[in-house]
Amino acid sequence: MLYSSKLSSMSIDERRKKLAGALSSSLAAGKPTAIRVSRATQGRGGKGVTVISGLPLPMSQLEHLAKELKQRCGSGGRVVDGHIEIQGEHRDTLVAELAKRGFTAKRAGG
């Protein structure tokens, strides 16, 4: 992952404001997107992952957000096709963390 030196020199509060600004600009451009936090096991040999979908962010910001969320949960994960996958069951933690960052996320699935 390549990050600009400007992004890495920003404080965490500045990064959160930048992500929230990207969200508000994308919401103003169209209808609000539904951010869903769900659990999936298909194609993973029975191992569960938490999937975050519907984030209206460019890929670079999505990768940066994924890194911070993985650190918050203390587990691995990846960004695939505009979705963030975090290993393990972390739906409640991720919904709370996304709300703290200014996103409106809903828990999806059972």
pLDDT of residue 24: 56
Arithmetic mean of pLDDT over the chain: 79
CA angle 93, 99, 101 (to 5 degrees): 105
| pLDDT for res 63 | 92
Q: Which residue has the higher pLDDT, 87 or 110?
A: 87
pLDDT in tens, 21-63: 665 555 555 555 678 888 888 877 778 899 998 888 888 889 9
Residue 107: pLDDT band with limits 50, 70, 90: confident
Residues 6+ apart with CB under 8 A from 110: 39
Higher pLDDT, residue 106 or 19: 106
Whole-prediction pTM value? Answer: 0.67
Distances (CA, A) of 27 to 32, 47, 86, 92: 5, 34, 25, 24
Beta-bridged to residue 78, according to DSSP, are 85
Please name each of the domains of the chain with its CATH number.
Answer: 33-107 (3.30.780.10)
* CB-CB neighbours of 99 under 10 Å: 12
Predicted pLDDT at 39: 87
